[in-house]
Structure 1
Amino acid sequence: MAQYNFENELASVLKMDAPITKGPMMRWQRKLNESNTCNNSMNCSMNKSLGMNASINTSTTAKTPKKSLNKSLNSKGSKTPKTPKGLGDRFIPNRSSTQFDLSHYKVMNTDTENAQDETMSPSKRDFQKGMSDNLHGDALNAKIMSYQTKAPPAPEGYQNNLKVLYSQNKTPGSCRKAVRHIPQVPERILDAPEILDDYYLNLLDWSVNNHLAVCLGGNIYLWNATSGNIQQLLSMENQEDYVSSVSWIKEGNYLAVGTSSSEVQLWDVENQKRIRSMTGHVARVGSLSWNSYVLSSGSRSGNIHHHDVRVPQHHIATLSGHTQEVCGLSWSPDGKYLASGGNDNMLNIWPAIIGSQDNSNNTPLYTFSQHQAAVKALAWCPWQPSLLASGGGTADRHIRFWNINSGSSLNAIDTKSQVCSILWSKEYKELISGHGFAQNQLCIWKYPTMTKVAELTGHTARILHMAMSPDGTTVVSGAADETLRLWKCFGVDPQKKKEQKSSTKGTSSSLMRGGIR
């Protein structure tokens, strides 16, 4: 018995040094098992051998389990697997946007459809497809996975250097035409004290000689835009009278002046001398327009007079088509039509019947009544003489386009503000409009889409008058805030300017060669 007791005690002692077969695994063993996934039989067998070697080495060494494990692996000629850091904090992706039901439906539906298509008739197949679309929607074309969070935006001012390489536009960035720069601030600001705040007057005009005529109360001042000199042309004798309209002749050497005393004057600017005074109106003359040697004047009485300035009997015709003041008057570029707008909300188109004293034939060719307010802003298109643009007052706020050949309305755009004046650009297919209540701004429009190109702000009161420089690049605006602002909004493209200079040089050189011969 003593022998058996000794053997039992010896077995119990040895059992204390043996590896623990029951109970939880050690922490390093758990990490190792997590890092090595059993994707194939080779990995599984490797994990088993690693676990066996590790359990054997734990009973024979006092060093760390990691080093004993490395020794056992090196003895077999295998590489030592390194345990990555942070395996215990394994990242689990967000699968809330993954539609497992939809993916299962796609797999099952594809198999069933393939099996049924072989035995099903075409009509029944279409019926089944329609029922599936009604019940499940477009499930077969839906995405199983989707991104719930969008990529963060790029920081402000960031520029991608590879933008040209990965451009999706049809034309590369190097060939894309640069957008025209329009200055948002005026090039120059001039004071205009005592300019009348009257919507129905026309107190601003720019000549081909680069002289700007400005009416300030009972005075007219001429500003030389080339030299910057200012001179006073006239001053009304009666303090109660004032200048109500001005208009330059095409050659720029004579200035027509309409007054509140129903008189039309003609001035020689170079000699600063009044050539003649033409009477006939019974109320103030608020609008003027030239057609060669014929001057047309619109009065507050609603009548329009034609004056032939070459002959002593200047009055040659009277047009009676308005019941209230004529505030807008403009001849077409080809001299065939006269457009007149009045405070009676009417727009009339008159044919060029001049030289006849018979007023019965002087009836409007067209009468348009679409405007709901006074029609002051009138402008003929320079590249299409039959196209007319007109603008209405506060109750209308529309810019309307008319085809005079057919007498039809082409388009109408609501500007949300009182339209006081319109000018067409000579360089671009654009027009600029001056507005009063309530925005007091200038708007540049692209024609014919009528998309707004730019807004020019700065005036603190309604912009009543506009005029364009002879080169067509600068627009001057006169407002009730007693300021004139010059905007260089139609600058010529530098490349086109070079081409024009080269063409003019070629013409001058050929003329010189002809003279030498």
Structure 2
Amino acid sequence: MAQFTLENELNSALRMDAPLTRVAPMGYQRKALNDSECNASLNISLKTPKKNANKSFSGSKTPSNSASGSSKKTPKSGGKLGTPGNRTRTPGGDRFIPNRSTSQFNLGHYKHMMEQKGPDESEALLSPSEKEYKRVMNENLNGDLMSSKILSFKAKAPSAPESFNSNLRVLYSSSKTASTTKKAMRQVPQVPERILDAPDIMDDYYLNLLDWSVTNNLAVCLGGAVYLWNGTTGTITQLMGMDNDDEYIGAVSWVKEGNYLAVGTSTGEVQLWDVVEQKRLRNMAGHSARVSSLSWNSFILSSGSRSGNIHHHDVRVPQHHVATLAGHSQEVCGLRWSPDGKFLASGGNDNILNIWSAQFNNLPEDNQPLHVFSQHQAAVKALSWCPWQPGVLASGGGTADRQICFWNCNTGTHLSSVDAKSQVCSLLWSKEHKELISSHGFAQNQLTIWKYPSMTKVADLTGHTARVLHMAMSPDGTTVVSAGADETLRLWKCFEVDDQKKKVQKSVNKDSSKSFRRAMIR
């Protein structure tokens, strides 16, 4: 029998057209087998009761048993059937289905509910139970958002101990009151308050043809004559005139009390006039060339000439010439005594600015300047002393320089400078504000108000059609008069007193008058 069996097997193996019984299934056969297994396992999961959906898998049925409806279980293996690694998987066995978490079903239900409500539906339309359900689901799904912030400011930073001192405290400290109480930029009138004609005024940069007295009389030099304009009444009178047509006035300057006027002529003479009586008191000669600058220091009258010399005249004595200052090689076009009478500033066409002491000698070689400043690159005509800082001088240069410089004459140091962009003809400090005004030539022919010490522009006053050669300030310090080569005088009310200062001054005056009356009654 065994021989016949072997022959039958050999014959079946050698037959090429017979079906193969013990070979691996083809690819399409394996795919069909797997699909049938997946469908069978899916049917089993759908037929499982809902209460057992979340329980761990404790048993399995073969597809053959499930298909036949038999309830016979497979033999148990040595490991737990719920663990995939320990289960014995036979060909055609059950496919492992992982457990579903309860939150996944809730999440799906929540999203489904939101899709039915619609994205544009307002939260106010939801019922209270739906709102509470939405809040709970949001907390469960998204977590506590407040605890997941990157930065959370719960309390102030701890303060430093009292003994701690930080050098950065001043740099990084700020005050709200300083910004709120910051004073706004004041308004400056852009048009002159009054315009006066000045025919025949000389277009000469080196002359000083304008000055305003404390008695409110404005002296103006027009050619060979001196005219007085009364600022209170508006009347105009001619004080004097030169004898010859080719002679002219080079400079005028009021004494501090305002009752005498010094006049420098083109012949080198210095005349002293009584304004009230309108007569000449004396004629002081001594210069070899025209007198183009004058300045008073009590009873000492200083005059600068084209020769480069400066003469000191004592108007009380017959021998008026008491000293000579020889510090310039060209014409002295700028001359100013300091308010305290300690220093005399002189600027010349040689681009030199000299500072002289009030103590002088009769011999010229014994009189040497205290300080010599040579920073300017053009003639130094514009000179003005600061009224609230003793020893501080402002000077301006001509066309080739255009600089406004500040000097400390007590120490002889250069404080600062600013480029004025044009020829500086005259400078004046304000008495009420920490500002100064400068007059200029080509190309705008303007007056510029500067904030000191920052030197930022407050305003530009335009209107002159030629360079503004001279300036003078009213006795109350509120008005500036400018004289230009366009033969006009323009009065600018650019330094009005602040209203608060006026109230303080009125209250002080009232208190002083009351105290004076009480003293008189006693």
Q: Match for 2:353 among 344, 347, 364?
A: 347
Aligned to 1:63: none
Structure 1: 5+ residue stretches without partners: 1-37, 48-77, 79-167
> Is 1:212 the counterpart of 2:283 in the alignment?
no
Shift of 1:291: 0.3
Shift of 1:466: 0.3
> Is 1:40 the counterpart of 2:111 in the alignment?
yes
Q: Distance in 2 between matches of 1:188 and 1:369?
A: 39
For 2:253, give the aligned amino acid. S
The one-character-per-residue Cα deviations of 1:166-196 (angstroms, maximum 9, x if unpaired) are: xx99349985534312101111111101100
Give the alignment of 1:474-513 within 5 angstroms.
474-513=479-518
Q: Distance in 2 between matches of 1:491 and 1:189?
A: 19
Deviates more, 1:272-281 or 1:345-354: 345-354
Q: Distance in 2 between matches of 1:448 and 1:46?
A: 71
For 1:398, give the aligned amino acid. Q
Q: Secondary structure at the match of 2:503?
A: helix
Q: Distance in 1 between matches of 2:498 and 2:225?
A: 38
Give the alignment of 1:443-482 within 5 angstroms.
443-482=448-487
Q: Distance in 1 between matches of 2:493 and 2:205?
A: 25
Aligned to 1:279: 285
Aligned to 1:103: none
Aligned to 1:184: 190
Q: Secondary structure at the match of 1:499?
A: helix
Shift of 1:462: 0.1
Shift of 1:370: 0.6
Q: Secondary structure at the match of 2:520?
A: helix
Aligned to 2:441: 436
> Is 1:170 the counterpart of 2:176 in the alignment?
yes
Total equivalences in the alignment: 361
For 1:205, give the aligned amino acid. D
Give the alignment of 1:143-162 within 5 angstroms.
none
Q: Distance in 2 between matches of 1:514 and 1:364?
A: 50
The one-character-per-residue Cα deviations of 1:140-168 (angstroms, maximum 9, x if unpaired) are: xxxxxxxxxxxxxxxxxxxxxxxxxxxx9
Q: Match for 1:247 among 253, 277, 284?
A: 253
Shift of 1:262: 0.7
Q: Distance in 1 between matches of 2:519 and 2:286?
A: 53
Give the alignment of 1:276-425 within 5 angstroms.
276-354=282-360, 356-425=361-430
Shift of 1:210: 0.5
The one-character-per-residue Cα deviations of 1:218-275 (angstroms, maximum 9, x if unpaired) are: 1111010011111110111111111110000000000000000111000000000100
Q: Distance in 1 between matches of 2:194 and 2:176?
A: 41
Q: Rg bigger for which structure?
A: 2
Shift of 1:502: 1.3
Q: Distance in 1 between matches of 2:458 and 2:310?
A: 36
Q: Distance in 2 between matches of 1:204 and 1:501?
A: 32
| CA 1:501–1:41: 2 relative to 1, 3 Å | same
Aligned to 2:136: none
Q: Secondary structure at the match of 2:432?
A: coil
Q: Distance in 1 between matches of 2:376 and 2:179?
A: 45
Q: Secondary structure at the match of 2:176?
A: coil
Q: Secondary structure at the match of 1:503?
A: helix
Q: Secondary structure at the match of 2:450?
A: strand
Q: Distance in 1 between matches of 2:402 and 2:192?
A: 25
Structure 2: 5+ residue stretches without partners: 1-108, 119-126, 128-173
For the aligned residue pairs, the C-alpha RMSD in angstroms reads 2.0
TM-score (norm 2): 0.67
| CA 1:212–1:44: 2 relative to 1, 3 Å | closer
The one-character-per-residue Cα deviations of 1:57-110 (angstroms, maximum 9, x if unpaired) are: xxxxxxxxxxxxxxxxxxxxx9xxxxxxxxxxxxxxxxxxxxxxxxxxxxxxxx
For 1:439, give the aligned amino acid. Q
Shift of 1:509: 2.1
TM-score (norm 1): 0.68
